[in-house]
Structure formats: structure tokens, C-alpha cells
Amino acid sequence: MNFIQKLEQSWSSSNSLLCVGLDPNWQKIPEHLKTLPEPIFEFCKAIVDATHDLVCAFKPQIAYFAGLQAEDQLEKTLNYIRETYPHIPIILDAKRGDIGSTAEMYAVEAFDRYKADAVTVNPYMGQDSAQPFLDRADRGTILLCRTSNSGAGDIQDLEVDGQPIYEKVASMISREWNTHNNCCIVVGATWPEQMSRLREITGDMPFLVPGVGAQGGDVEALVKAGQTANGKGLMINSSRGVIYAGNDQNFAIASRKVALETRDLINQFRNS
Amino acid sequence: MNFIQKLEQSWSSSNSLLCVGLDPNWQKIPEHLKTLPEPIFEFCKAIVDATHDLVCAFKPQIAYFAGLQAEDQLEKTLNYIRETYPHIPIILDAKRGDIGSTAEMYAVEAFDRYKADAVTVNPYMGQDSAQPFLDRADRGTILLCRTSNSGAGDIQDLEVDGQPIYEKVASMISREWNTHNNCCIVVGATWPEQMSRLREITGDMPFLVPGVGAQGGDVEALVKAGQTANGKGLMINSSRGVIYAGNDQNFAIASRKVALETRDLINQFRNS
């Protein structure tokens, strides 16, 4: 079973398009966890246990672990998810990208060391830089296309033959890079109009959608713009909104509450 | 002293534009090192000791360490260089890039955890994604512009208003991102004509130049195209050519020999 199939099954079994991002910021982790031997792992584990039946995927962000010198706790987090909830796809958010044997080593990092089901990759260096990821046919490669930040347009919106670069990138990925049917793209939640055009360009390719808050309007617009005909096609990521919903002993209960609300809000606007 | 000043001093004191890339590929490390407790560190240390007086910078590539679960040996390698040869700038080649607090954590990883003098960053997500790196005024941010790989043109060469994207990126960095005078760009050695245009666009901004082999023609063309008026402005990287020059007990001597030849070849074509 490859990544896309695993994701399809997860969308169905969870009845959810919500992806919970695991971004363990030390300043925001509940104080009572900080005295434990592996506080970052314990934090992530508690969030995972509290939300596992509400998500289509988990997305640990490697930067938070790397900044804290905690790659061991990242490994442990992925192992825990994989062993306890083997049906849930794990996306390692790493935005890697390099050439030749260096890109191969990044693929080893994501897929062999961390055993992620999919990894985020930056396409700026071109197809050959993504190839070592794409060649892992059982795993997913999630390529940045139109990101959610305010400066995203600096390069991504430049126009080539009357078409923004991010559309060119989406076309290239869809037509040329996706020979193993294991590509997805990142499309920011903040740009529903662009998302609907990208849906036209890429057919049923899954979108990883960062940038969702708890604002209903945004969710409605993005689900309507981005979903596929069968009401799937989206991994709508929320990180801070879910995982920092509380910061006391009951933080995991608070995160479950927000995850449930977000999943249900998303589901209101899905094609059935 | 900021990164650019440290680099200027290093160019002068070493009389070298050569940067040696530390890409410790397990398959290519000499067998006799593999029984040591920290073979990757020992390999890098031997290369550093053998070439330190011939280089303007060292560039460890994080992917090789991450793929081998060896972040501790990467830390040790950077510590060793910094303590033993404090005048030599260290570039962490990581090609990071993300938004907001995630980019901040990547800056922490590069500049606080590994204490690198500079880090390579992918510009695709726009200025705000680079800002946490740029804001570290004492450190260098080396942004991908025109890379050396065969697929580099897939996105970088697309034309916007009659100008390739990589030139637009170089202009943006030069005019808008470089407020702390701590930016450099990556320009592949394989494209001397493009390099000479990028030199016009960016003034004296330093270029990190990957893709050099031991071929004289290439070196001549790129030095002539890329150097500044005073014969500097380039960090010409060689990784495999230098560090895998030998693979027996005398590997470090072999690497010194190639580093010396490469430095001298480069120097033949420098403005004095």
C-alpha cells in the first residue's frame, strides 16, 4: 500500500480531513511536562492519544525537534504513532531539497531513519532534486506549491507567460514528476481562489493545507475550493490551534475539543 | 565581526577561494576509520586538519549526518573547527526554509545549536521565510539562486518579463533582503555566463559556487565570470573531489594534494 492509498483509507475510516501538526515549542509546552525525562515526546504522545480518532494524518515538524537537539524524541514520536495507530499516515514536515547524493541522504533521513509515510520537499532546485524522494514509490512526496505565508508571493506569484509560477510548478508536478502517483502539493489555506485553480490543474492530487485557524469563513472557502468531487483530497493542517489549546494538566483534553470542532466544521462543507 | 567580514579576512589570510565541503558518505569513508567510536567526526577532523591552510571556508552538509543519525558528530565537527581554526568561517549547508516560528527554530538549529557562521536557505517561500535568518546580523544567509544541477532550470530559468527567475531572485535579495549586509547567493559553477550576469546584479555579494570538478576550463571560466574586481567574491566549493581523493590510510594527504592543486588552479585566474 503506498502513501496515497493509506491516506485514502485514512480519510474514509476517520471521516476527517484534519491533519494535526506536532510543533513542540518549548515555551508553550505545559510546565508539568518539563520535569519528565522526555518532555517533548510526552507532549506529542499526549496530543496524539487525545486526537488520533479525529485526524487523517499527523505532521511532526522537524525544526522544533532539531532546534531542541531532540531528534531522539522525534524518532520516538514517530515510532509511537506508527506502532499504536498504524493506519494513520505520518508526514514529516522538513521542506528538504538538494541535489544528487545529498537529496538521497535526505530521503534516507525521512523515510528510513524516521520511517515517515511522506515528507515535504521544496521544488526550487528542479525535478532531479526531488527524484530521490519521488523514487520511493511507496512513500509520499509533498511539494511546496503556493504557501500560506504573507511573503509567499515574492517568488511564487511571479508571472510566466501570464501564469503564476506556482501554477507552473503544479502543472510540472502533475504532468512530469508524478510518475509513481505519489505526489501531493502544499497549498495555503489563505488562498481559496488559487486553490480552486490548482484543483483544476492537478485533478485529484491531495493537497496539504497549512494556515487554518478556527475561523469558519476560511474553512468553508477552502474546503469548497479544494476538495475533490467525493469530498476528499485535503489534509487540512492545524498545529498551534489544536496543540496549544490548553497548557495545564488538561491540555490534551483541550486539544481534543478543538480538533473535534475543527473536524466537524470542515465536514459541514464537504461534498458527500 | 559579521560573517562577511570574517569571510573577507579569510580570503586574504588564506589566499584561497576554495571551500571544502564535508559530505561524509558512509560508503566512501576509509575502512580503517569505521571501527573508531566516532568515525564520521574522525573523517571530517582529518580532512579539516589536512586542508585548513588552503581554504577560505568549510561547508559541512547536514544531510549526511542526519541520514546517519549522527547530529552529535556534526556538532563535534563544528566545535572542532571553531576551536582549532577560529578564523575559518563555517557554512552549514542545510537549505532550510519555512515560515514564522518554524524558520526561527531552523535559525536556532543552524546558529545556536551548531554555531555555524552561515547557513544555506531556500528562497522559494519568500522574504518573510528568510527573515529569521537575515535578522541574525552577525551570521550569513546564503540563498539558493541558480543551482548547479541539471534540473536547476525547471523552475529557476522560467522567464518573468524577459528575465529568468534566478535573476529576479538575485535582484530581490540584493535590493530588499540584504539590509544587514549578510546575504550571499548560491550560483552553480556549471553556468559561467549566468554567473557573470549575477555579478552585475549583486555588486560584490559573495557567491557560494558548488559544482567544481578538477577541470581547468570550468574553473577558469567561473573565476573570470564570478570574481569581484579585487579577485575575491567567491567561495568555490569542492566536496567529493577533495575529501574522497584517497580512501586508504593516506586519505588526508591525498585530499590535501587535491585541495592545493584546486586552490592554485583557481588562483591562476584571479585578478590581483
- DSSP states along A121-163: E-GGG-HHHHHHHHT-TTSEEEEEEE-SSTTTHHHHT-EETTE
pLDDT > 90 fraction of chain B, expressed in percent and rounded: 94
pLDDT digit string (tens) for A5-40?
A: 999 999 999 999 999 999 999 999 999 999 999 999
Indicate the pLDDT class of residue A217, thresholds 50, 70 and 90: low
A174 in B contact zone (CB under 8 Å): no
Which of residues 14 through 33 in chain A touch B, CB cutoff 8 A? Answer: 23, 25
For residues A173 and B177, give the distance between their C-alpha atoms in angstroms, rounded to a whole number: 29
Q: How far is CA A234 from the centre of its chain?
A: 10
The pLDDT score that the predictor gives to residue B217 is 56
CB < 8 Å to A108, chain B: 67
Q: Mean pLDDT over residues A110-122, rounded? A: 98
Q: What is the CATH number of domain A3-268?
A: 3.20.20.70
**A72: nearest CA partner in chain B:** B69
Residue A189 reports pLDDT greater than 90: no
pLDDT tens digit sequence for B188-233:
987 788 999 999 999 999 999 998 875 555 899 999 999 999 999 9
pLDDT at A248: 96
Q: Does the pLDDT of residue A215 top 90, yes or no?
A: no
CA–CA dist B187, B205 (Å, integer): 11
What does the pLDDT read at residue A87? 98
Q: Where are the domains of chain B?
A: 3-165+183-268
Nearest to B185 by CA among B155, B158, B150, B156: B156
CB of A167 within 8 Å of any CB in chain B? Answer: no
String of b and e for B125-148 (b: at least 16 CB within 10 Å)?
Answer: bbbbbbbbbbebeebbbbbbbbbb
Q: What's the rounded Cα separation, in Å, for the pair B233 and B199? A: 9
pLDDT on residue A193: 87
| Subunit contact B102:A25, Cβ cutoff 8 A | no
What the block records as the C-alpha cell of A140 is 509520499
Mark yes or no for CB contact A128/B105 under 8 Å.
no
* A101-113 confidence digits (pLDDT tens): 999 999 999 999 9
pLDDT at A151: 95
Q: What are phi and psi of A16, to 5 degrees?
A: -145, 140
pLDDT of the residue at A216: 54
CA distances from A253 to A15, A19, A243, B107, B143 (A): 20, 17, 10, 32, 42
Residue of A101, A106, A124 for testing the chain B interface, max B β-carbons within 10 Å: A124
Give the SS3 label for residue B38: coil
Residue to mutate among A98, A131, A240, with most B CBs inside 10 A, is A98
Mean pLDDT confidence for B1-10: 97
- A57 pLDDT band, cuts 50/70/90, is very high
Q: What pLDDT digit, counting tens, does each position of A143-161 carry?
A: 999 998 999 999 999 999 9
> For domain B3-165+183-268, which CATH number applies: 3.30.420.40, 1.10.260.40, 3.20.20.70, 3.40.50.300?
3.20.20.70
pTM of the model: 0.97
pLDDT reported for residue B216: 54
Are the beta carbons of A126 and B113 separated by less than 8 Å?
A: no
**Exposed/middle/buried for A37, CB within 10 Å: 0-12, 13-18, 19+?**
exposed
B135 touches chain A (CB under 8 A): no
Distance from CA of A53 to the nearest CA of B (A): 26
Tally DSSP H helices, then E strands, for chain B: 12, 10
- What average pLDDT does this structure show over B25-34? 96
**ipTM of predicted complex:** 0.96
| Annotation marks residue B6 as catalytic | no
